[in-house]
Amino acid sequence: MSTAIDVPDETRADPPGAGDGRPAGSLRGLDLALPGRLALAVVGGLCVWLTFPDANVPALGPVGVALLSAAILGTRPRTAAILGLVGGLACFVPTLSWSGIFVGPVPWLALATVEALYVAAMCAIVAAIHRRLLRRPPTAARDALVALAVPLGWVAQEWLRGSWPFGGFPWARLAFGQTDGPLLRLAALGGAPLVTFAVAAIGAALHLLVVTRWTRPELLRYGAAPAAALALVLLAVTATPVPTDGTPTPLTLVQGNTPREGLDFNAERRAVLDNHVRGTQRAAERDGTPPAAYLWPENSSDIDPLRNADAKAQVQRAVDAAGAPVLVGAILDEPAPEVSNASLLYRPGEDAPSQRYVKQHPVPFAEYVPYRSFFRLFSDKVDLVRVGFARGRGSAAMPVQTPGGATVDLVPSICFEVAYDGLVREAVTQHPDRESVLVVQTNNATFGRTAESTQQLAISRLRAVEHGRAVAHVSTVGVSAFIAPDGSLSGRTELFTAAQVRGEPVARAGRTIADRVGPLPEVLAGLGLVALWFAGRGGPRRRLGRNATRPTPPTDREKDRLRA
C-alpha cells in the first residue's frame, strides 16, 4: 500500500504525478528559485502599473495578476509576502510618482511602500490558503478553489487598503486601469470591486491555463470548460448596453488655470480667482443662452467669499455676467480653528450661496496631519499643512433648471472623494428618483504635469458607469471633461491651460444594480477567503511525515496503465 507524498520544497506545491497516486499533470507551482519568482513579481507589478493612465493598456491587468499568481503559487506565506511586497512596489512606485513631484521622494516612497504592504499581506494569505488546499487530493474542484483565492484576495485587499488607516487610500485599484477596456461595463453590476474581481479572475485562469500544466491534453476537460464558461459570461456581460438616455443638461466647465505649478500655486490666490471670473465672463459672451450652471473647480476661490468683501464682489461679478448659477470651489475659514473645503452654489440675484457642500473626507497629510509630531520625524513637509480641514457631514443635491425648464440636481464630490466607493454611492442614492449629474471638482496644480490628473479622470469614468450618471469633471488646471454614463469622454482639456467647455451631459434618475448591492461584493470576498481557509481543513490530506513510509516505485506495467 503506497502513501501519497507532499514534497516539502516550497517551489513545488505538488510533486510530479508518477508513483504517488496522483494524475499526471496535477496542478503545481513553478520550479523556480527565488530570483526567478522575484522577476515574475516585478514584471507583474509593472504590468498592472501600465494599465493606468497615461499608458492605458487594460489588457495587461490580467497578465500582471497571472504573473504574480505564478510567482506565489506553492510558496510559504512569508516568501509570498516578500514577493507581494516586491510586486506591489513595482506597481505603486511608478503609479504614485506624482505624490513626490514637489515634496521629494520620502513621502512618495513611504506611500508606495504602505500600499505595497497590503499586496504583501494579500499574497501571504492567498499562499497560505493555496498550501492548505493543495494538501487535498487533486481534483478539478480543488484547483478551481485555488484559482478563486486570487480574485477574492484582490477584492479584499483593495477593500482594506481603501478603508484603513485614516480612511484608507483606494488609488490604483485594478478596476481603475480598465476604463479603456470592455470590463468597464461590469461596474454597473458590482462597481469597482466586480471589475477588480473580473480582472483578477481572468489573470488567475490565465496562470492556471498557460503557466501551469493545465494545458496538457489529458487535463483539457478541467481547464477548457471553466475557461470557456468564463469567456461566455464575460462576453455576455460586456455586450450588455449601458443606458445613456436622460435629460440633456447644458453645463459649462470653467478651468481658470493658475499662475504657476507646484505647492505655492495659491500664493497668488486672487489671481486664481480672477482667472475663473474672466473665464466665466468669456464663456457667457460666447454661450449666448445661459447653461443650467457654470462649474468652477476646487480651490477656484481660496479666499473665503463669505468673509472677504473683495472675493465676494469678484464672485458676484461672475454670477452677474453668467446669468446662471455658478458652483464655486472655495476654502472657508470655518469652523475655527479649522477650515472647510466647500462647494458653494450662487444663483443670480442672490448675494450669498443658496446651498453648500463640505468635503467629507479630507486627505491625510495633505489637508490635515494626524500625529504630526511623530510624522515630523520622517519629513518636515508635514508642516506645510498649517491648518487642518474640517469634515463635512453628508452629501448635497443642488437643483438647477435647464433652459427647457427641467429641474436636475448637481451632486458634487471634491477631489480624491471620487475614489471612495461609499461616498459617491451615498451621493447618488440620497435622491435616486431625481435626475442628477455628478460633479467632481478637483485641483491638480500640486501634481504638475504628471499622470495624477488622468488617473483621477479615469476614476470618474468608472463612477459614471457604476452609477448610471453623467459626470462633469472640472479641474483648476486640467484635465477637465464631460463623461457620459457609458464612460465616454467629451470636451477634454489639456493641462495648465485656461479653458471653458460647454457640453450637454444627460441627467438621469434611478439606481443601478451596483447601487443596490453596495459593498456586498467586498463582504462576500472577505467571507469567501474565510471559507476557502476552512475548505483546506477537511478531507484526506497528503503529508510526508518524518517517519512516513515512502511509496514503492511503480512497475513498468503500472506506469503504462497510468499513462493510459
Q: Which residues does the annotation mark as catalytic?
A: 298, 359, 415
The DSSP 8-state label assigned to residue 208 in this structure reads: I
For residue 341, the 8-state DSSP code is E
Asked whether the beta carbons of 121 and 164 are under 8 A apart, the reply is no
Q: Please, how many CA atoms are within 13 Å of residue 210, restricted to the half-sphere of its CB?
A: 12
Find, among 410, 374, 375, 406, the residue nearest to 395 by Cα: 410
Report how far apart, in Å, the C-alpha atoms of 152 and of each of 13, 49, 524 are: 20, 20, 8
What contacts 388, CB < 8 A, 6 or more positions away? 338, 339, 362, 367, 368, 369
Q: 445 by DSSP, 3-state: which?
A: helix
DSSP codes joined into one string, 402-444: -TTS-EEEEEEEEGGGGG-HHHHHHHHHTSTTS-EEEEEEE--
- Taking only Cα atoms into account, the Rg of the chain, rounded to an integer number of angstroms, comes to 27
Three-class DSSP category at 188:
helix
Neighbour-count burial of 160, counting CB atoms closer than 10 A to its CB (0-12 exposed, 13-18 middle, 19+ buried): middle
Can you tell me the distance from the alpha carbon of 165 to that of 252, in angstroms, rounded to the nearest whole number? 37
Sign of CA dihedral 375, 376, 382, 383: positive
Bridge partner residues of 295 (DSSP)? 253, 327
DSSP code per residue over 13-61: SS--STTTTSPTT--------HHHHHHHHHHHHHHHHTTSTTT--TTHH
What is the edge-to-edge ordering of all strands in the sheet holding 293-295? 355-358, 340-346, 326-332, 293-295, 251-255, 499-503
Is residue 266 within 8 A of residue 299, CB to CB? The reply is: yes
* Separation of alpha carbons 271 and 284, rounded Å: 20
**Grid coordinates given for 541:** 490530506
